[in-house]
Amino acid sequence: MLDSINTFYKVKKEQGFEEYPNEMVTIQLIQRCSLIKFEIEHYCFLILFSQFHRKNYKQIFKSIPFDNTIDLCKYYEHVFLPSQSLQIPVSNNLISVFLSSIFDETSDLSLDHLTKVTNLLCETSLSTYGAEQELYNLFTKVDNNQKLKLLSLVLENKYVTSTYLLSTLESINVDIGTSEFNFYVVKSIVSCFNKKLLLELSAFFNRGILKEIINLRICILTFDVKNMRLINNNFESRLKPFVNQINSEASFVQEKMASLWTSPYYDATNSVNSSYALSEDVRSPEILKEGEYIKSQLIIGKEYGCILSTERNLVVINLESGLQRKLNNIGNVLLGPIFVENSIGIATNDEISLYNIKGDLLQTEFLIGEGEEVVSLKPKDKEIIGLTNMGRLFFLNDNSSFSFVIPEKYKKESYTDVLVFNSFFVFVGEGCIQVFKRDKNRVADFVEEIKLSTINRVLGINDVCFIITSHSILRWDLSVKSDDIVKYDLMIDIHDNPIVVETPNTLIIASNERIIRIIFNASEATHKVVFSEIKRKAITDIIRCNGLYAVLTIENNFFILKNLDDALETTSKLELMENSDGYKLSCGYGALYITSNRTIYVIKNREAVIIDEHVA
């Protein structure tokens, strides 16, 4: 029988057929097997042979004794699933079919059978997807000890109500010792994704290690870094693998949430200087999503990324699954998107608005002045901050909105940008830079104004401002008077060149195929060429990730640079899979992202991260 199956399959493969034989042939083979006493491995081959017709699995289970079905599931998993030589796309849902078949046969199972099924489910890695009702049936029949073992499977079961589960846990806790109870409850919690049920369990377990682990699991699922507390208390040694697992997951979420690229300029002061822990060696680029996008960075928030379609509609992408939603009700976007907490800020030609991730409007402020338009949009302290060309500043959060107008005595004819520093607001006006104090994210007292003939760009970090003019770069520590501004004279125009604020005292500037570091000290500034692309390909984008640099060139080459003896050295180099008229870099939420007008790539770390202790 086994030989005939293998021969038939081999012939079909040689004839170019990738699929299995038709259903009639499969049924005939199953009927023949019921007439012969097969060994377990023969049944496994038959399952492999008939997997495109899953409903026929039940006939196989019905043809052999109960104990043999248990052995069959174990043999199938441990012998056939790990095998790569078969190169057959085996089903991973054999257990759910087995459960369904035994409950179809009888509603009453012996204690011995219940125990064997429980142990099988606890030991197997095969999926139980599609067997929710059968799992619930089993859970209602077994004793308290077996219920405890099955807990991790039924926490996501739609047939098990929270009322039933909590009352069951209460009776189990009385019946079974604390150590055994804690072990299986913790084992279940660390793999549970049911947030609603976890909240009810948190109220049920009002203290101790169980409540701590439940609360940490809730924080992981809701990305609540603020209330995240790693488990450091004394606990039983047998809980250590689960505690290590949940602590590791929490640390990973903390790392993801520490480096969200929430606006085109990472830290809201026009400095592409990220805390994302990029590694020296990375994996090959993978396509996260394909579509039609405008040329811009992917803005990265909690679990989601945002970009604009070519029609300037807002597009939201799940960073885990790659699933994309175009929010057609959010269109004609002229500025943004930016992320703040779980909300998305955008500006159109007549309003500034804040939406949730589903596209529901939370707050909006309308532009009422003739010719008024939004020129700058920044996230800061749970709010989006928008500046119009007429000097009106808007603050929007989930619950309220507020506007501020630059006082008439300081007001200029037009404005182009606002920067939000630790202790200051900096307004870029026509031919001038104005500084106001910042108090609780509101504009406070006027500090100082400097006049300049041209202002190409303003960048910053902490409370240090860099002003790019057509002929020079000015470094201004906003905490002291402008008399102490340090000037660097430019030899070339760097109006559109990629610039990174490396530290409060150094800038990184890409100039054609070279990267130049400009160093400011107390009274003067110098420069040094720290990298030159060997093939003389012009650098089009560069960002700094926790001490390393991600770089793109004009012919879509990507490489990573690290500091070595006051220079930058290549650690990784990749070629992107398509040509584009321009790529943009961003990072955060555990990955690096490269966006073109057709494709969004994701690049993940390959090895342990490199931490630069000198990051500002």
What is the predicted pLDDT for the residue at 119?
A: 83
Q: pLDDT digits over 286-343, tens only?
A: 999 999 998 889 999 989 999 999 999 999 999 988 999 999 889 899 999 999 988 9
Q: Under a CB-based contact definition with an 8 Å cutoff, are residues 581 and 574 in contact? A: no
| Strand extents, DSSP E, 179-302 | 273-274, 286-290, 299-300
Average pLDDT of the segment spanning 512-518: 94
Q: pLDDT digits over 383-410, tens only?
A: 999 999 999 999 999 999 999 999 999 9
What percentage of the chain reaches a pLDDT higher than 90? 47
Whether residue 199 is predicted with pLDDT greater than 60 in this model: the reply is yes
In DSSP notation, 149-190 reads HHHHHHTT-TTS-HHHHHHHHHHHHHHS-HHHHHHHHHHHHT
Whether residue 427 is predicted with pLDDT greater than 90 in this model: the reply is yes
Q: pLDDT digits over 408-424, tens only?
A: 999 999 999 999 999 99
Contacts by 451-454, CB closer than 8 A, 24 or more apart: none
SS3 119: helix
**Backbone phi, psi, residue 161, to 5°:** -75, 155
Residue 317, token pair as written in the block: 């992408």
CA distances from 73 to 76, 85, 103, 227 (A): 5, 20, 16, 43
Whether residue 189 is predicted with pLDDT greater than 80 in this model: the reply is yes
Strand partners, 475: 466, 486
What is the predicted pLDDT for the residue at 577?
A: 72
Q: pLDDT digits over 556-582, tens only?
A: 889 999 999 889 999 999 888 776 667
What is the predicted pLDDT for the residue at 476?
A: 96
What is the predicted pLDDT for the residue at 57?
A: 66
Burial class (CB in 10 A: 0-12, 13-18, 19+), 194: middle
Q: Under a CB-based contact definition with an 8 Å cutoff, are residues 43 and 64 in contact? A: yes
Q: By mean pLDDT, which of 58-72, 426-440, 452-466 is the weakest? A: 58-72
Whether residue 34 is predicted with pLDDT greater than 60 in this model: the reply is no
- Secondary element (H or E) of residue 122: helix 111-123
CA distances from 589 to 14, 225, 260, 599, 609 (A): 47, 13, 6, 19, 14
9 closest CA partner among 97, 87, 68: 87
What is the predicted pLDDT for the residue at 369?
A: 82
Q: Of all residues in the chain, what percent are helix, strand and coil, respectively (each to 5)?
A: 30, 30, 40
Residue 103, token pair as written in the block: 């409950």
Strand partners, 273: 544
**Backbone phi, psi, residue 116, to 5°:** -65, -40
Mapping DSSP onto H, E and C, the string for 31-47 reads HHHCCCCCCHHHHHHHH
Dist CA 504 CA 506 (whole Å): 6
> Measured between alpha carbons, how far apart are the two ends of the chain, in Å?
71
Residue 537's Cβ-side half-sphere holds a number of Cα atoms within 13 Å equal to: 13
In DSSP notation, 547-586 reads TEEEEEETTSEEEEEEEETTEEEEEEEEE-SS--S--EEE
Can you tell me which residue has the tokens 């160093």?
519
148 closest CA partner among 98, 196, 189, 113: 189
DSSP state of 309: B
Indicate the Cα dihedral angle 217, 222, 224, 228, nearest 10°. Answer: 0
- Secondary element (H or E) of residue 146: helix 144-154
Using 50, 70 and 90 to split pLDDT, how confident is the model at 208?
Answer: confident
Q: Under a CB-based contact definition with an 8 Å cutoff, are residues 464 and 478 in contact? A: yes
CA distances from 316 to 16, 91, 253 (A): 42, 33, 20
What is the predicted pLDDT for the residue at 271?
A: 85
Amino acid found at 239: L
